């Protein structure tokens, strides 16, 4: 019997959990204020969520180059770069908000997307030194670091968003500090240094991107990750606009987003165990079902209770769907294919998330005469994508399982 020591992997997981908590706090802060700031500066209300779309677009366009960069130079280098970009992006956004320039705000949002892309690789870094048995748990624990970010981000935002005469300027100033402090954590990571120091691994040829997409497990993992993340983003992006539009306060919006992010990450303490026990396909299926129930609750009314329950279910569904899809992908490729498949995955996932966040503002503000009509349109838009992901899972389980 071979006993695998995961001491190194557990140390890295601990560092990544803290990074997820501290650096990750900036994303719920931005997602709360992004649409509201966009509504203030954009000439067309349909473009209110464009700052959030630019963050996701920045993440999408960063993934194809930052993943190979990490494979060559190591994860730590990429994570430092991401945190630095997050600080610069917040500073540029703050300047755009201060001067009333929507264009400069969008430029800062794009730079923030570089941070978002780097953060997306925390979950993959957790598997780099982990044994096969510890791998799903490592992913889950890192994602669980988002629990602290769910508390730190929205609650910090309530303290700082009105700290200056210009509304929400304090949010971006606080995010600069979070990035500068959080990047110091990466000094304690003990990860592979990259293929520059591993010449043998660099000579092994992997499958091309087209060949990878022909692998049923790779394809379905990408589809399910794309749908889970896109639908979460579609609904969550519109939530602050819907909450305020239905007569509630920005403090209510912060608390609802906080509950949502808690629900996104709280199950991560046991999601890995559930995957190991019941199989990744069942957990992804459960995630998609919960996402559907979130839409049903949102469509049933616009009281605060409906917003809370719908957003909590949205977070739970994202957790099972996205972590499950990530685990499926991590087991569907060889080590030498890591950079190509992970970069391709995040490019496709965040490409669709970009479309979802942009569509969110259009559906919310321009598909009906009232906030209620817009909110209903956002939630009805979930249906075809849930059908796509569910159908792909059914197709997968009918395929013969092949070795990677």
- pLDDT tens, residue by residue, 8-19: 888 899 999 999
Highest mean pLDDT among 54-63, 135-144, 297-306, 334-343: 297-306
Residue 404 included in any domain: no
Return the pLDDT at 72: 87
Q: Please, are residues 378 and 310 in contact by the beta-carbon 8 Å criterion? A: no
pLDDT at 138: 84
pLDDT for position 63: 78
Q: Is residue 1 part of a domain?
A: no
pLDDT at 248 over 90: yes
Residue 402, domain member (yes or no): no
Residue 279's φ and ψ, nearest 5 degrees, are 100, 145
Give 349's pLDDT tier (boundaries 50, 70, 90): confident
Backbone angles phi, psi at 96, to 5 degrees: -65, -40
1 has pLDDT over 90:
no
Residue 403 counted as domain residue: no
pLDDT (0 to 100) of residue 196: 47
In this predicted model, which residue has the larger pLDDT, 359 or 272?
Answer: 359
Residue 213: pLDDT band with limits 50, 70, 90: confident
- pLDDT-derived band at 402 (thresholds 50, 70, 90) equals low
* Nearest CA among 337, 297, 364 for reference residue 36: 364
**Structural domains in the chain (count):** 1
Confidence band, pLDDT 50/70/90 cuts, at residue 205? low
Higher pLDDT among residues 65 and 387, named by residue? 387
Q: What pLDDT, on the 0 to 100 scale, is given for residue 195?
A: 55
CATH code (residue 347): 1.20.1250.20
pLDDT at residue number 348: 87
pLDDT at 399 over 80: no
Given pLDDT bands bounded at 50, 70 and 90, which one contains residue 199?
Answer: very low
Confidence class of residue 2 from pLDDT cuts 50, 70 and 90?
A: very low
Per-residue confidence (pLDDT) for residue 271, from 0 to 100 = 84
> Is residue 163 in a domain?
yes
Write down the mean pLDDT value for the chain.
87
* Residue 91 in this model has a pLDDT that exceeds 80: yes
Lowest mean pLDDT among 78-82, 212-216, 234-238, 313-317: 212-216
Average confidence (pLDDT) over 314-326: 93
- Is the pLDDT at 211 greater than 90? The verdict is no
Q: Which domain holds residue 231?
A: 7-195+204-397
pLDDT at 367 (0 to 100): 80
Q: What is the mean pLDDT of the segment spanning 18-34?
A: 92
In a domain, 2, yes or no: no
Quote the pLDDT of residue 320.
Answer: 95
Q: Where does the pLDDT of residue 404 fall: very low under 50, low under 70, confident under 90, or very high at 90 and above?
A: very low
C-alpha angle 238-241-245 in degrees, rounded to nearest 5: 135
Q: Does 389 have pLDDT greater than 90? A: yes
């Amino acid at each position: 019997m071979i006993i695998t020591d995961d001491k190194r992997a557990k140390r890295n997981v601990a560092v990544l959990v803290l990074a997820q908590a501290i650096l990750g706090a900036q994303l719920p802060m931005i997602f709360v204020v992004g649409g509201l700031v966009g509504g203030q500066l954009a000439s067309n209300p349909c473009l209110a969520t464009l700052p959030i779309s630019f963050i996701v677009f920045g993440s999408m366009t960063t993934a194809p180059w930052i993943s190979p960069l990490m494979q060559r130079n190591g994860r730590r280098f990429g994570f430092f770069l991401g945190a630095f970009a997050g600080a610069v992006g917040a500073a540029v956004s703050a300047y755009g908000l201060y001067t009333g320039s929507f264009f400069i705000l969008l430029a800062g949002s794009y730079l923030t997307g570089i941070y978002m892309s780097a953060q997306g690789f925390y979950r993959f870094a957790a598997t780099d030194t982990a044994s096969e048995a510890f791998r799903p748990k490592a992913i889950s624990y890192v994602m669980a670091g988002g629990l602290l970010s769910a508390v730190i981000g929205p609650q910090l935002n309530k303290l700082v968003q009105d700290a200056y005469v210009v509304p929400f300027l304090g949010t971006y100033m606080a995010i600069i500090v979070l990035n500068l402090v959080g990047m110091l954590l990466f000094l304690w990571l003990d990860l592979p240094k990259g293929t520059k120091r591993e010449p043998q691994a660099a000579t092994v040829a992997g499958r091309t991107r087209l060949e990878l997409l022909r692998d049923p497990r790779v394809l379905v993992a990408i589809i399910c990750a794309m749908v889970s993340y896109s639908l979460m983003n579609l609904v969550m992006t519109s939530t602050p606009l819907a909450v305020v539009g239905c007569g509630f306060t920005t403090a209510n919006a912060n608390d609802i987003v906080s509950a949502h992010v808690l629900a996104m990450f709280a199950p991560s303490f046991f999601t890995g165990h559930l995957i190991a026990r019941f199989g990744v396909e069942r957990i992804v299926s459960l995630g998609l079902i919960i996402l559907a129930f979130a839409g049903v609750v949102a469509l049933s009314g616009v009281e605060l209770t409906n917003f809370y329950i719908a957003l909590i279910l949205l977070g739970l569904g994202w957790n099972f769907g996205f972590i499950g899809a990530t685990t499926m992908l991590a087991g569907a490729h060889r080590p030498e294919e890591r950079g190509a498949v992970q970069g391709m995955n995040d490019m496709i996932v965040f490409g669709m998330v970009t479309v979802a966040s942009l569509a969110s503002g259009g559906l919310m503000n321009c598909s009906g005469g009232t906030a209620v009509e817009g909110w209903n349109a956002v939630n009805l838009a979930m249906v075809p994508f849930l059908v796509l992901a569910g159908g792909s899972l059914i197709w997968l389980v009918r395929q013969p399982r092949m070795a990677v």
